[in-house]
Each structure stands twice: as C-alpha cells, then as structure tokens.
Amino acid sequence: MNSDTVKTFPMLIGIQNTKYIAYGLVFISSLIGIFYLKPLYAVAFFLSSIITYIFIYFSENKRDDSYFSFGVETCSALPFLFLLIMEYF
C-alpha cells in the first residue's frame, strides 16, 4: 500500500474499512451461491469463501506481495479445487 502509485481503496478509506467491504462482498457472493447453485457447487463455493475470510482476516500491511499475489488471488480457483476433491473422495 505504501509503494502504490495509484489510489487504492486502502489508501482512500483505510485498511479496516476495506476489510469490512471485502467481508461483505464475500458474504453476498456466498448467499447468491447458496441460492442459485446446485448443492454440490454451493458447498464448494462456501468452503472457498471460508478460506477467503481467513485470508482477509490475516491480511496486513506487513505481508509479502506473494501473500496477496498467490494466496488471496488463488481463492478464485478454490471452488474448482474443492469440487474436484469432493467428486473423487
């Protein structure tokens, strides 16, 4: 955040408020997923949203860029991974 040249949400509204927005958006997407997806897909999406909540909670300014680049960004692929695991086990 300190080395960004563009204005980001953490710079504009603060880190904690950005976390609250992220929690809200993940929660809304989980609700949409529960109501509109088939149960197997909804469970996979719900499990990935739990992991996403954990990543959001532990995100700090002191973290490496790899935490955000690899950890947080790969949360979008987690539903597919959970779906594969549930289908084969």
> Directed axis angle between helix 15-36 and helix 39-57, to 10°?
170
What span, in angstroms and rounded, lies between the C-alpha atoms of 57 and 49?
Answer: 12
pTM for the complete prediction? 0.81
Q: Which residue has the higher pLDDT, 35 or 65?
A: 35
Q: Which of 21-25, 59-63, 72-76 has the highest mean pLDDT?
A: 21-25
Task: Report the C-alpha gap between 30 and 83 in whole angstroms.
Answer: 15
Mean pLDDT of 37-48: 92
